[in-house]
């Protein structure tokens, strides 16, 4: 969208611009947009070039990627600069330089994650869609894994709508 004119330009999957026009996660990173799609993985979009400059999904030939679902529901950048992705099958860190997803250890990979938020203490709150489950996680100081601090089960089937 052009903020001066209010003009909104449509980028359709039919034009070969986006992997899918059903978008669930958008995260601006520098001069690019990370775009999580409904069933077609992640597009890295250049607004300047007005096109997708890279695409990755679970079927991509990226041997270092752990991605198990092409439905990337939510994208989030922590204060430390880590990019996290919530999907219908696991919670991931995204390495922008290597263009690969890495499953976060010690968090159930079968969950449908819908939201990621960081509180002022640096705790990461993760919500799920239908599993009545959320976790508070904090990056471990020494390793690159995450330690679960607390598991919370609440009577709301859609935790994602309660954490915004």
User: Domain coordinates of the chain in residue numbers?
Assistant: 13-155
Which two tokens mark 66? Answer: 């752990």
Task: Tell me the C-alpha to C-alpha distance, in Å, between residue 127 and each of 43, 44, 52, 56, 94.
Answer: 23, 25, 29, 24, 18
Report pLDDT for 164. 35
With a cut of 50, which residues of the chain have pLDDT below it? 140-146, 157-164
Which two tokens mark 58? Answer: 């679970």
What is the helix (H) or strand (E) element at residue 94, kind and residue range? strand 90-95
Which two tokens mark 97? Answer: 């330089």
Residues 37-57 pLDDT 10s: 988 999 999 988 888 899 999
Which two tokens mark 102? Answer: 């890495």
How much of the chain is helix, strand and coil, in % rounded to 5? 5, 40, 55
Report pLDDT for 13. 64
Report pLDDT for 139. 55
Largest CA distance in the chain: 49
CATH architecture observed for domain 13-155:
7 Propeller (2.130)
């Amino acid at each position: 969208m052009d903020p001066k004119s209010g003009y909104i330009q449509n980028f359709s999957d039919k034009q070969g611009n986006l992997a899918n026009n059903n978008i669930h996660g958008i995260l601006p990173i520098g001069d690019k947009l990370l775009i999580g799609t409904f069933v077609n993985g992640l597009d890295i979009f250049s607004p300047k070039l007005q096109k997708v400059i890279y695409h990755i999904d679970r079927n991509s030939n990226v041997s270092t990627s752990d991605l198990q679902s092409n439905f990337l529901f939510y994208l989030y950048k922590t204060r430390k600069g880590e990019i996290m992705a919530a999907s219908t099958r696991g919670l991931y860190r995204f390495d922008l330089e290597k263009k690969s997803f890495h499953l976060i250890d010690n968090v159930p990979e079968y969950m449908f994650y819908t939201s990621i938020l960081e509180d002022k203490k640096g705790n990461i709150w993760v919500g799920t869609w239908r599993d009545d489950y959320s976790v508070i996680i904090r990056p471990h100081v020494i390793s690159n894994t995450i330690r679960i601090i607390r598991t919370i089960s609440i009577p709301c089937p859609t935790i994602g709508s309660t954490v915004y």
